[in-house]
A and B are shown apart, each in its own frame.
Chain A
């Protein structure tokens, strides 16, 4: 019996090991096809959309196969590791300030010139400028993700409040009225435990939105000089931190948020929070939400504007062995066909004039919020020169501000003024060093 058992155990161990070692399907590129690897970040919803896009592209370009590497977290870290090991993907998204100056991406001007399908006039004004660095084009921001305010319509109705859109129409939508709404929307149970928060910050990077909607100018337009103690910047940060610290209408930091993941939209979808800031990609995620929701421009102070994240650029690796094939994929991403598929699934708003004018070509009204056009209004504002964008600065400088300074403010450890003054010299030093090495 003992022996039998032992033999049995060894058979299992041997079998499992054999399965692990020998049953790998060998991965061979199909003959006559060029394999283009493509890395970007995103979750399950994005994966489905990318696969749809790849499907369409491969049907139209039978000689190319796209291999998708979707990285949901610590994206920059992974890309840096691959670049350092010289095995970067052929097409990928990077932080422009970090890596474009290091020559990691290949300029695509030569391709653009000889591409019969490319016409600069197809794009909304201001769009193409976003992908340029020192006169060369590395990327085309074919879609924009302007940040807006998402709100739960039921919560507003039940509280008897005018919606943000109504307030906006009356010209009364600003951070003061926002706070008034927050106070009414927060719900507590009999023991004082909050069962519903009025507002929750989407993630630490969204602090740039607070700064910008207050009209803060923490950097010079070319991002070479930091002036973090700019009064409007400081005011903005303190005001938002006080939502949790003083007014208790917004929760404090969560463990998820600290590790760079956002639990916010899940809570919004479940109706546990009433408002959040986010971008068009949320439309796909909020599909199937029970309560009706809508979008409105973010609350703004005089001189304030919303922003979009354009510090990330999708381009071709400088050492890509087959840039032509890579360019075909890249240009498909901003093409009419590609944009229609992508935007229909509810992720971005396309920057092609034709598609902006004819939303019926791609907009799925059944999943879109009522005031979907707000995305375009806000985008137009953002693109008005000079465009108002998230700072294009090196990751380290950005992390110092959004991780260290902003967190100290949110925890109430330092006032916004103190924290920004403390980090100003350090951030300027990083900027100086980055520009000196160019």
Chain B
């Protein structure tokens, strides 16, 4: 930094920056920071919106951690969902994109086919899967061909969450596949050639060239996947409404229920802040861990 006073030109650019970005920072104040402050305040009250709020201090938080088994249950359900689904999705989509990257014929067609489910609106997809997972539906028919007895996919406590995962996997798999494919196409061919000259087989090429080269992409998608998946709502709301026996009670579903079904706005706000804290810590942990497994080119 030079100590010289900024020139008029620079000052004007600065002014323009704040002018041009004004929609964003105005929105930030109006729709993010303001509500966040309000949310903290509300989380210290007992409030149903209809009658006047009552200040209860930390009681909502204490109750959440000490007396609410559903809170822990919903946290566990969400964590299991996230940390099974996201890695599974990344591994599968990486696999498929590596296969597609082998200069296969009909690349465009395959890519479209794999991507197609992501185009389906969530509601339509939920209804479709309700139909597929129905006790008399085609999934039972298909597994029946392999001699597996009929299952209650959505009403069996052990199967409900995996069934929702299956549906989400089908519906979101395409996005990360397209991203990985683009990442793979960006890996310079010269690296593979060099590896071949050194006698590396396909596994070694994958392990020592492909994987390091696209690890930043994997990392970024892992991070965004975890953040997004932790906030899952619609699938649980539409398919099972948290049941059976709360085995699909996602955290946000429970939050929504507290706020909009029981009108416990203070409690729901406290839950929102706990969610925020969890996501914040998770993000930090993942970022910290990145140096262990993400390879960045020196010039980045």
Please determine if A and B sit in direct contact within the complex, based on CB atoms under 8 angstroms apart. Answer: yes
Interface 0/1 of A92-113, CB less than 8 Å to B: 0000000100111000000000
- Given A102-B51, A103-B51; A395-B135 close (CB under 8 Å): no
**Is B50 interfacial (CB 8 A cutoff)?**
yes
Check if B50 sits within 8 Å of A260, measured CB to CB: no
Check if A258 sits within 8 Å of B240, measured CB to CB: yes
Check if A81 sits within 8 Å of B260, measured CB to CB: yes
Which of B157, B241, B246, B264 touches A259 (beta carbons < 8 Å)?
B241
Task: Specify which chain B residues have a CB less than 8 angstroms from the CB of A255 in the assembled complex.
Answer: 130, 133-134, 154-155, 239-240
**Is B49 interfacial (CB 8 A cutoff)?**
yes
Check if B155 sits within 8 Å of A258, measured CB to CB: yes
Task: Specify which chain A residues have a CB less than 8 angstroms from the CB of B260 in the assembled complex.
Answer: 77, 80-81
**Is A253 interfacial (CB 8 A cutoff)?**
yes
**Is B198 interfacial (CB 8 A cutoff)?**
no
Q: How far apart sit A403 and B244, CA to CA, in the bound complex (Å)?
A: 9
Q: How far apart sit A99 and B155, CA to CA, in the bound complex (Å)?
A: 32
**Is B245 interfacial (CB 8 A cutoff)?**
yes
Check if A102 sits within 8 Å of B240, measured CB to CB: no
**Is B243 interfacial (CB 8 A cutoff)?**
yes
Check if A413 sits within 8 Å of B157, measured CB to CB: yes
Check if B245 sits within 8 Å of A404, measured CB to CB: yes
Contacting residues of chain B (240-276) with chain A, CB-CB under 8 angstroms: 240-241, 243-246, 260-264
**Is A411 interfacial (CB 8 A cutoff)?**
yes
**Is A84 interfacial (CB 8 A cutoff)?**
yes
Check if A404 sits within 8 Å of B50, measured CB to CB: no
Q: How far apart sit A76 and B260, CA to CA, in the bound complex (Å)?
A: 9
Distance in Å from the Cβ of B239 to the closest Cβ of chain A? 7
Check if B152 sits within 8 Å of A407, measured CB to CB: no
Task: Specify which chain B residues have a CB less than 8 angstroms from the CB of A83 in the assembled complex.
Answer: 49-50
Check if B241 sits within 8 Å of A252, measured CB to CB: no
Q: How far apart sit A253 and B240, CA to CA, in the bound complex (Å)?
A: 11
Check if A102 sits within 8 Å of B50, measured CB to CB: yes
Task: Specify which chain A residues have a CB less than 8 angstroms from the CB of B244 in the assembled complex.
Answer: 253, 258, 407, 411
Task: Specify which chain A residues have a CB less than 8 angstroms from the CB of B133 in the assembled complex.
Answer: 255
Which of B49, B157, B238 touches A84 (beta carbons < 8 Å)?
B49
- Given A253-B155, A255-B130; A413-B238 close (CB under 8 Å): no
- Given A253-B244, A404-B245, A407-B243; A258-B154 close (CB under 8 Å): yes
Interface 0/1 of A106-133, CB less than 8 Å to B: 0000000000000000000000000000
- Given A84-B50, A408-B245, A413-B245; A254-B261 close (CB under 8 Å): no
Distance in Å from the Cβ of B71 to the closest Cβ of chain A? 13
Interface 0/1 of A125-158, CB less than 8 Å to B: 0000000000000000000000000000000000
Q: How far apart sit A258 and B152, CA to CA, in the bound complex (Å)?
A: 12
Check if A395 sits within 8 Å of B49, measured CB to CB: no
Contacting residues of chain B (138-162) with chain A, CB-CB under 8 angstroms: 150, 152, 154-155, 157
Distance in Å from the Cβ of B8 to the closest Cβ of chain A? 44
Check if A411 sits within 8 Å of B157, measured CB to CB: yes
Q: How far apart sit A432 and B205, CA to CA, in the bound complex (Å)?
A: 67
Q: How far apart sit A195 and B113, CA to CA, in the bound complex (Å)?
A: 38
Check if A76 sits within 8 Å of B241, measured CB to CB: no
Check if A254 sits within 8 Å of B155, measured CB to CB: yes
**Is A396 interfacial (CB 8 A cutoff)?**
yes
Check if A84 sits within 8 Å of B263, measured CB to CB: yes
Task: Specify which chain A residues have a CB less than 8 angstroms from the CB of B50 in the assembled complex.
Answer: 83-84, 99, 102, 104
Contacting residues of chain A (42-69) with chain B, CB-CB under 8 angstroms: none
Q: How far apart sit A81 and B155, CA to CA, in the bound complex (Å)?
A: 29
Task: Specify which chain B residues have a CB less than 8 angstroms from the CB of A253 in the assembled complex.
Answer: 152, 155, 243-244
Check if A259 sits within 8 Å of B245, measured CB to CB: no
| Chain A residue with Cβ nearest B51 | A102
Q: How far apart sit A102 and B263, CA to CA, in the bound complex (Å)?
A: 12
Interface 0/1 of A224-262, CB less than 8 Å to B: 000000000000000000000000000011110011100
Q: How far apart sit A411 and B134, CA to CA, in the bound complex (Å)?
A: 17
Check if B243 sits within 8 Å of A258, measured CB to CB: yes
Q: How far apart sit A407 and B135, CA to CA, in the bound complex (Å)?
A: 18
Check if A403 sits within 8 Å of B157, measured CB to CB: no
Q: How far apart sit A254 and B261, CA to CA, in the bound complex (Å)?
A: 22
Check if B155 sits within 8 Å of A80, measured CB to CB: no
Distance in Å from the Cβ of A80 to the closest Cβ of chain B? 5
Check if B51 sits within 8 Å of A259, measured CB to CB: no
Interface 0/1 of B162-179, CB less than 8 Å to A: 000000000000000000
| Chain B residue with Cβ nearest A251 | B135
Q: How far apart sit A404 and B70, CA to CA, in the bound complex (Å)?
A: 10
Task: Specify which chain A residues have a CB less than 8 angstroms from the CB of B262 in the assembled complex.
Answer: 395-396
| Chain A residue with Cβ nearest B264 | A396
Distance in Å from the Cβ of A313 to the closest Cβ of chain B? 16
Distance in Å from the Cβ of B266 to the closest Cβ of chain A? 13
Contacting residues of chain A (404-428) with chain B, CB-CB under 8 angstroms: 404, 407-408, 411, 413
Contacting residues of chain A (381-405) with chain B, CB-CB under 8 angstroms: 395-396, 399, 403-404
Q: How far apart sit A395 and B261, CA to CA, in the bound complex (Å)?
A: 8
Q: How far apart sit A95 and B155, CA to CA, in the bound complex (Å)?
A: 28
Distance in Å from the Cβ of B188 to the closest Cβ of chain A? 36
Task: Specify which chain A residues have a CB less than 8 angstroms from the CB of B264 in the assembled complex.
Answer: 396
| Chain B residue with Cβ nearest A88 | B50
- Given A102-B51, A404-B245; A259-B240 close (CB under 8 Å): yes
Task: Specify which chain A residues have a CB less than 8 angstroms from the CB of B155 in the assembled complex.
Answer: 252-255, 258
Which of B51, B130, B134, B152 touches A252 (beta carbons < 8 Å)?
B152
Q: How far apart sit A214 and B245, CA to CA, in the bound complex (Å)?
A: 25
Task: Specify which chain A residues have a CB less than 8 angstroms from the CB of B240 in the assembled complex.
Answer: 255, 258-259
Q: How far apart sit A76 and B155, CA to CA, in the bound complex (Å)?
A: 24
6 cross-chain CB contacts under 8 A = A81-B260, A258-B155, A259-B241, A399-B261, A407-B245, A411-B157
Additional 13 contacts, C-beta under 8 A, given A84-B263, A253-B155, A407-B243: A80-B261, A83-B50, A252-B152, A253-B243, A253-B244, A254-B135, A258-B154, A395-B261, A396-B261, A396-B262, A404-B245, A411-B244, A413-B157
Interface residues, chain B, CB within 8 Å of chain A? 48-51, 70, 130, 133-135, 150, 152, 154-155, 157, 238-241, 243-246, 260-264
The 9 closest A-B pairs by CB, nearest first: A84-B49, A258-B243, A253-B155, A255-B154, A259-B241, A396-B262, A408-B245, A407-B245, A77-B261
